[in-house]
Amino acid sequence: QQRSQAVANSGTSGGDGVAMTVRAESGAVVDIAQNPNALFPSLALSETADTVHPVPINALMNYSTGSMTVTFSEILDITPSSNIRLDGLHLSNITGDHLISLVGSTVTAIDGTQAVIVISEAKRALAIAHSATPGGNGHAMVLDIARDAVMDIAQNRNEYLFNLTLQEIADT
């Protein structure tokens, strides 16, 4: 969270446009001869933009609730929740068949490494029928994530189409 807050307060992409500074109080550091520094009220930081794209790591679908949690390598910018492009997310029997579009699902608007998406009851029932859980076809569904469907706190979007095999929790 400290890193995402630093990005938000920086002059780089995803930040407020103003480079951060550091205030060094008199005596905060000493040199090799033990002489204290003078007061530096505003030292400009040299900032390097975050250019690392978010990569999905895993996806967990709870068929009892219709809630899917997708974990990413970077902190996602999910405020507002419309930053997740649901038209770029699909549940598939096999990669690319896009059996179930996630358009119309609900995204929890909290920045973090996990995106929580709740699908509708009709989509949940269809997903169960195509899952590896009881009532399904015996094969786990995959999550297809299109290019640019999500972005991290530095406004980097995902680069590639990913197919994540869902970890599935049966409907109980």
Confidence band of 2 (pLDDT split at 50, 70, 90):
confident
- Those residues whose C-beta lies under 8 Å from the C-beta of residue 2, and which sit 6 or more positions away, are none
* Lowest-confidence pick of 43-57, 75-89, 145-159: 43-57
Cα-based angle 16, 18, 21 (whole degrees, multiple of 5): 125
Residue 161 confidence (pLDDT) above 80: no
Report how far residue 22's alpha carbon sits from residue 31's, in angstroms, rounded to the nearest whole number: 18
pLDDT for 8 equals: 84
pLDDT for 114 equals: 98
pLDDT for 13 equals: 87
Residue 160 confidence (pLDDT) above 90: no
Which 3 state secondary structure label does DSSP give 4? helix
* Lowest-confidence pick of 23-27, 30-34, 138-142, 168-172: 23-27
Who wins on pLDDT, 37 or 62? 62
Encode burial over 76-92: b for 16+ CB neighbours within 10 A, e otherwise: bbbeebebbbbebbbbb
Q: Is 74 exposed, middle or buried (0-12, 13-18, 19+ CB in 10 A)?
A: buried
Who wins on pLDDT, 21 or 167? 167
Token readout for 50 is: 């975050």
pLDDT for 151 equals: 97
Instruction: Specify the pTM.
Output: 0.86
Query: What secondary structure does DSSP assign to 84-103, as a single string?
Result: S-GGGEEEESSTT---EE-T
Confidence band of 9 (pLDDT split at 50, 70, 90):
confident
Q: CA dihedral in degrees (75, 81, 86, 88; nearest 10)?
A: -40
pLDDT for 4 equals: 80
